[in-house]
Amino acid sequence: MRHVDFSPLYRSTVGFDRLFNMLDAHAAPEGGPSYPPYNIERTGENSYRISMAVAGFSEDEISIEAHRNVLTVKGERANETTGEGSEILYRGIASRSFERRFQLADHVDVSGANLKNGLLHIDLQRNIPEELKPRKIEIASAGAKAKQIEAKTTKQ
């Protein structure tokens, strides 16, 4: 059984923890799909890349859809026919259809995808709206501008 510990990534990624929780929950190979294999990497401060091994698939056989924080990658292979007079003795290259779903964090958008050398690379960008970004609050000094209120004491 292959288990990946994502806990070191929790400290360095903010807003992507839900994705790692979902990956952790579905990482059991006997319970979930294991094809095609994939990597998730951080390529910048707010950018990520999912790389999937999709050998034998062309661009028109793969569809990528992002909808409501869910990224869905589907691969549909056309039935492959061997040439007349040939038969396959051993099939080691998988040619089955697949569907992979990735739960994305809030404000993460797909910025692009490309297929090169049997690897599908999906680039993700985290765009935090201006009103949600942290802002610096100035602290006013208690200098000469501050008014001091003194209570008058009464003598008895």
- Average pLDDT estimate for 40-68: 89
Mark out the alpha helices in 35-151 (DSSP H runs). none
Which domain does 112 fall in, by range? Answer: 7-79+92-128
List pLDDT tens digits, range 86-137. Answer: 787 887 776 788 898 888 888 888 989 999 988 999 999 988 888 777 888 8
Distances (CA, A) of 112 to 9, 58, 79, 100, 148: 23, 16, 28, 17, 60
Residue 142 in any domain: the answer is no
Residue 122 located in a structural domain: yes
Output the domain CATH number for residue 62: 2.60.40.790
Any domain includes 134: no
Q: Number of folded domains in the chain?
A: 1
Query: Mean pLDDT throughout 1-22?
Result: 60
- Specify the pLDDT at position 20: 64
Q: Which two tokens stand for residue 51?
A: 């790389």
Residue 123 in any domain: the answer is yes
Paired tokens of 49: 């890349």
Whether the bond into 37 is cis, omega within 30 of 0: no
Is 135 contained in some domain? no
Whether residue 61 is contained in a domain is answered as yes
Q: For the whole model, what pTM was predicted?
A: 0.61
The H or E element containing residue 116 is strand 108-116
72 versus 7: which is more confidently predicted? 72
Residue 138 lies in a domain: no
Q: What is the mean pLDDT of residues 17-37?
A: 64
